[in-house]
Amino acid sequence: MPTNMLVLKLLLAFALPLVSALKFDIQAHPGGESAKQERCIRNFVAKDQLVVVTATASGKRGDGQTLNMHIKDAVGNDYAHPRDVAGENRFAFTSHADSAFDVCFENILTAQQAVMSPTRSVELDIDIGADAKDWSAIQAGEKLKPMEAELRRLSESAKEVVDEMDYLRTREMKLRDTNESTNERVKWFAIGTMGMLVALGIWQVVYLRAYFRNTTRSEFPAATTTTMPLEKDSRGRSVVPIFINGSPLPINPFAVQPVTSSITDDAVHYYATADPDACDQACDVAWKAFSGNVLDTGRSGWKRASANTRRDIIIRTADLFEERKEELIKAQMDETSCQRGWAMINVQLTVGYLREIASCVSHIKGQIPTIDKPDTFAFVFKEPVGPVLVIPPWNAALVLATRAITSALGAGCSVVLKASELSPLTHSLIVDIYHQAGLPPGVLNSLQTSRDNAAEITEHLIANPSIRKIEFIGSAAVGRIIGATAAKYLKPVLMELGGKGPAIVLDDANLQKAAVLCAKGATIHHGQICFSTERIIVLESVAKQFQELLVKAMEKEQGGQAVHSGIAEKARDILQQAKDNGNEFLIGGPEMAVKNGVRPSIVVVDPKTPKDQLRIVDEETFGPSASLYVVDSDIEAIRLANSSAYGLNATIHSTNMERALKMGKELEYGQVHINCISVYTSVTGPQGGVKGSGWGRQNADWGLEEFVQEKFITYHGADADVPAAK
């Protein structure tokens, strides 16, 4: 290491003289300018160091040019200021400070007549420290040998280099300390600033929530009546009441019906059945709440409620759904005998729907179309259609009812809810939570009736002049009746009906994943979902392998129990007919696995089997089963899938995105999901069917648009070209 350091010092010492000499030309100027035109050469010197400046200038005195020199440092010390320099000039001085110093030249034109090429050439040599000493004189004075003198010179040069490196290192440490101190101050300043911004943001959120809460409450005060989903009748029975104008109606003990558990056959609770008078009362109250006459306070009706008001109530409803999650789960399990997982999915989906619809409420907007007529203006307003009759099902009792109600309320419509007689408490809880969130009385009313009186009560509700639109979610058979009745009274209908969803398995699919998804799609909630996997269509080249995987997947599934014995018996009867027809069962069969629960089954069906020969071909089973078809091509799979009268949803299993998308565009279904379970929905995408599965779309903006109508208003100014009356 010492040897390497010595070599470095020697190299530096020899290198310094090589870079000190400099040659340049300096142009003469007339002088007298306000600012000097100097050419300066800068160097650095430590304090108390000897500096020798040797400047050799071309030309001579009296040649019409005057070359002046000025040697000074950056702290104001002048070391030499010779004038009219020519030839070789040497200046020696000892520095007064650690500082940069400049050797400056200025060439002034002094001749009266023009001078050819008024330029002086300068050769500048600056020696500092050891290089500036006269070593010949030192050698003679101290009687040193030439080698001793040279080594002494090199030693002093090396020492100067080391001293300069120490100085630079000291400066670097000072700069580092300064940077670290600055960084520390900047860090704490940033932390303090972020803390202030976070505190300000929290304060703003709290303030705005309080502001909008107070604004909503002042515009539409919440109902003062405390609502209870269950009331006691005179016999002490727990009864789901009819709920109108923010309050439950008195219960007639002779007009109640039981809700029976299919697991125990016991009455879970009871519900009050509506008569035509209760229907008219609910419709009239809904109209007054919509138009503004119900509150008798001078305030506008729900149709003129601000978007902020509607949005905030829906958001608070979502919060309350999460708070009352266990209550909602229990109600679904008690009434429909579903498994806890299905009830939980309903709650989670419902909260998602509520928040998404709330975020879309302010998206409803009209247009200002152009009019080719002078001084004329046109406006297209989107207005709520009016009171909506919502008839939801029991199989996804919470999510489908809440979505329908919320889309109508979000658009500014009032609602009459005809709850399912199989899940009246679940539907009543939705109404209760909405009123707890601050929904004005009369905007949401609910009633239910027995299955025996359903046709009469439903037509009475549809016929009421206050009802302006109907949303029905249920079977295709009932949907046809609802549609015909609505047409009779010229009422528009939004319908999401049953399905016979196909799952197409292509030869490039992940067969293991496809088998699991098909099995789950067929069995979840006892197959009582319009989105269930009812048909599995597989290409022949992978059929054998897929069937083996499908059987293994089905063996792990439990179908659960139907909502009542009639549903289970129908599903079993459809399978029994297939067995009697000679169809092969890969697994399961027409038998009960548990009380009111059909055994999960896969039955093989010939693709050419006509619909009228076998019910399972195109009839919704509503059981944990699926029919399996083997085809030889993509075209045959598409043809078979489209042969159904239904068109709600389909799935495709393929790893080839282009192939799957092309097939999806050919399928006659409202939604097609690739590599996914059939029981899938997204709160942000449109949902609805085609063909026998209904019409219209729900979810987000699409659902809100179903409950508004366009109104065209024009204004004709004084200069409008109005034709003269004949």
**Identical fold at 19-132 and 243-496?**
no
Strands 493-496 and 694-695, by their bridges, are antiparallel
Give the confidence band of 296 by pLDDT, cuts at 50, 70, 90. Answer: very low
Collapsing DSSP to helix, strand or coil, 275 comes out as coil
| 716: DSSP letter | E
| Distance set, CA 31 to CA 27, 107, 523, 650 (Å) | 12, 9, 103, 94
10 Å Cβ neighbour count for 329?
Answer: 20
Q: Which tokens go with 367?
A: 């247009």
- As assigned by CATH, the class of the 19-132 domain is mainly beta
- Encode 277-293 in three state secondary structure: HHHHHHHHHHHHHHHCC
Which amino acid is located at 183 in the chain? N
Active-site residue list: 496, 530
Which amino acid is located at 417 in the chain? L
- As assigned by CATH, the class of the 243-496 domain is alpha beta
Give the confidence band of 297 by pLDDT, cuts at 50, 70, 90. Answer: very low
d(CA 501, CA 20): 91
Place of tokens 């979502």: 318
Q: In DSSP terms, which residues pair with 54 in a beta bridge?
A: 90, 125
Q: In DSSP terms, which residues pair with 102 in a beta bridge?
A: 42, 72
10 Å Cβ neighbour count for 540?
Answer: 12
Give me the percent of the chain exceeding a pLDDT of 70. 91
d(CA 652, CA 672): 7
Report which of 350, 277, 273 is spatially closest to residue 318, judged by C-alpha positions. 350
| Residue 59 zone, left/alpha/beta (φ > 0; ψ -120 to 50; rest) | left
Report which of 339, 342, 482 is spatially closest to residue 418, judged by C-alpha positions. 482
Under 8 Å between Cβ of 718 and 396: no
pLDDT in tens, 431-467: 999 999 999 999 999 999 999 999 999 999 999 999 9
pLDDT in tens, 520-574: 999 999 999 999 999 999 999 999 999 999 999 999 999 899 999 999 999 999 9
Q: Which tokens go with 350?
A: 């419902």
Give the mean model confidence (pLDDT) for residues 362-371: 93
User: Phi, psi (5° rounding) for residue 275?
Assistant: -115, 175
Give the confidence band of 293 by pLDDT, cuts at 50, 70, 90. Answer: low
For the chain, how many residues are written? Answer: 726
10 Å Cβ neighbour count for 542?
Answer: 18
CA Rg, the chain, in Å?
Answer: 47
Place of tokens 């860090």: 187
* Average of per-residue pLDDT values in the chain: 88
Which amino acid is located at 570 in the chain? K
Under 8 Å between Cβ of 257 and 273: yes
- Which pLDDT score is estimated for 35? 56
Collapsing DSSP to helix, strand or coil, 334 comes out as helix
Express the helix, strand and coil content of the chain in percent, nearest 5 each.
45, 25, 35
Under 8 Å between Cβ of 254 and 265: no
Report which of 346, 400, 337 is spatially closest to residue 568, judged by C-alpha positions. 337
Give the confidence band of 19 by pLDDT, cuts at 50, 70, 90. Answer: very low
- Encode 599-657 in three state secondary structure: CCEEEECCCCCCCCCCHHHCCCCCCCEEEEEEECCHHHHHHHHHCCCCCCEEEEECCCH
49-63, 248-262, 486-500, 517-531: least confident range = 49-63
d(CA 523, CA 558): 7
- Which pLDDT score is estimated for 141? 78
d(CA 193, CA 344): 43
Give the mean model confidence (pLDDT) for residues 184-202: 86
Burial call 220-239: b when 16+ CB within 10 Å, e when fewer: bebbeeebebbbebeeebbb
- Which pLDDT score is estimated for 222? 45
Write out the H or E segment, with its range, that includes residue 711: strand 708-716
Report which of 497, 479, 477 is spatially closest to residue 487, judged by C-alpha positions. 479
pLDDT in tens, 628-685: 999 999 999 999 999 999 999 999 999 999 999 999 999 999 999 999 999 999 999 9
pTM of the model: 0.69
Contacts of 617 (CB under 8 A, 6+ apart): 605, 609, 610, 611, 627
Q: Which tokens go with 353?
A: 């729907």
d(CA 562, CA 525): 8
10 Å Cβ neighbour count for 326?
Answer: 11
Collapsing DSSP to helix, strand or coil, 109 comes out as strand
Q: In DSSP terms, which residues pair with 247 in a beta bridge?
A: 244
Strands 256-260 and 267-272, by their bridges, are antiparallel
Contacts of 726 (CB under 8 A, 6+ apart): none
Contacts of 672 (CB under 8 A, 6+ apart): 649, 650, 651, 652, 664
Q: Where are the alpha helices (DSSP H) in 116-145?
A: 135-142
pLDDT in tens, 581-619: 999 999 999 999 999 999 999 999 999 999 999 999 999
Sorted by where each begins, the domain ranges of the chain are: 19-132, 243-496, 502-688
Which amino acid is located at 343 in the chain? A
Which amino acid is located at 148 in the chain? E
- Which pLDDT score is estimated for 217? 47
Strands 87-94 and 50-57, by their bridges, are antiparallel
Q: In DSSP terms, which residues pair with 395 in a beta bridge?
A: none
Q: Which tokens go with 286?
A: 């809904």
Pick the CATH number of 502-688 from 3.30.565.10, 1.10.1060.10, 3.40.50.300, 3.40.309.10: 3.40.309.10
Beta strands in 171-297 (DSSP E): 231-232, 238-240, 243-244, 247-248, 256-260, 267-272
pLDDT in tens, 334-356: 999 999 999 999 999 999 999 99
- Which pLDDT score is estimated for 469? 98
